[in-house]
A and B are shown apart, each in its own frame.
Chain A
Amino acid sequence: MRRDVFQAIADPNRRAILALLATQLLTLNGIAEKFDISRPAVSKHIKILEQCGLINIKQQGRERYCEVRMERLNEVSDWVEKYRKIWEEKLDALENYLTQLQAKEKKNVK
């Protein structure tokens, strides 16, 4: 499966990592310390997040820091917005149709 932002947020641990990184810059070790899951498991999630383009890993001296790219999440909200718009337009159409239908009924009664 292709690595993308949708896959990144599909896993609750990855969402938790993103939430953590949203407010602070942490090293790989710093992240692992905050989770009950094993260090290799945390590393794997971080790798996936990096491949999905949601975090950058920066080497600073001996430490590797993870930086989140929140703007990438906009891709998801853009799609949600499209969904909403489609529904709103459908319901506009329903509204018009119901009006037409009732106007026709009235006419027939007369």
Chain B
Amino acid sequence: MLNKIDGKTTKFTDKELIITRIFNAPRELVWKAWTEPEHLMRWWGPKNFTCPAYKIDFRVGGKYHSCMKSAEGQEYWSTGTYKEIIPLERIVCTDSFADEKGKVVPGSYYGMPTDNWPMEFTITITFEDFGNQTKMTLTHFGIPIGQMKEMTGTGWNESFDKLADSLK
């Protein structure tokens, strides 16, 4: 599954969202792009978003505070703490919605339909050589997808299949 031609893989396992990408760049450069604010600000954010701010205290126990801004001007701040840093190999950090001052806020602050969504996720990013390229794996813990997979009802399986198809 990891060797798909386009180098992109997404899969769901228990309580995790895992995304794997092969980047056509050396590992040092991919690491830099993930860990230095001046690089992060150039790419952080989904399509049509900019990143007007990315503050990092890059050490275990240090925090980041970042902003993604939509084309309409809506800002989405997030924050988290670095739990583990192994240079060029691995970053583990937490991830929460935040306000512009860095205070953790529930998803409802940004229009999520609920206050019951987890307040904090854990993200692990690993970097490996893949020939001359770099394989990056991002694991997002805390999303209750795996828990829902336990529910084996027909209706549920169908919608999960649909989701799986959309990821192919």
Cα(A79)–Cα(B154), bound, Å:
20
The prevalent SS among residues of B at the interface is mixed
Cα(A97)–Cα(B50), bound, Å:
13
The prevalent SS among residues of A at the interface is helix
* 1-45 of chain B: CB within 8 A of chain A: 8, 10, 12, 17, 19, 21, 23-25, 29-30, 33-34, 39, 42-45
Q: Is the CB of B23 within 8 A of A74?
A: no
Query: Please, how many residues of chain B have a CB less than 8 angstroms from a CB on the other chain?
Result: 46
The interface bits of chain B over 58-83 (1 if a CB of A lies within 8 angstroms of the residue's CB, else 0) are 00000000000000000000000000
The interface bits of chain A over 48-91 (1 if a CB of B lies within 8 angstroms of the residue's CB, else 0) are 00000000000000000000101101111101110111111111
Q: Which residue of B lies closest to A19 (CB)?
A: B151
* 5-31 of chain A: CB within 8 A of chain B: 5-7, 9-10, 12, 15-16, 18-19, 21-23
Q: How many A-B residue pairs have CB under 8 A?
A: 135
Query: Please, how many residues of chain A have a CB less than 8 angstroms from a CB on the other chain?
Result: 46
Cα(A21)–Cα(B153), bound, Å:
8
22 example contacts (A-B, Cβ-Cβ < 8 A) are as follows A7-B114, A12-B147, A16-B150, A22-B151, A22-B154, A22-B155, A68-B153, A70-B151, A70-B155, A70-B156, A75-B113, A77-B148, A83-B17, A84-B17, A87-B19, A88-B8, A91-B138, A93-B44, A93-B47, A94-B43, A101-B33, A102-B29
A residues contacting B by CB (< 8 A) are 1-2, 4-7, 9-10, 12, 15-16, 18-19, 21-23, 68, 70-71, 73-77, 79-81, 83-99, 101-102
4 tightest A-B CB contacts, nearest first: A22-B153, A70-B155, A89-B46, A6-B116
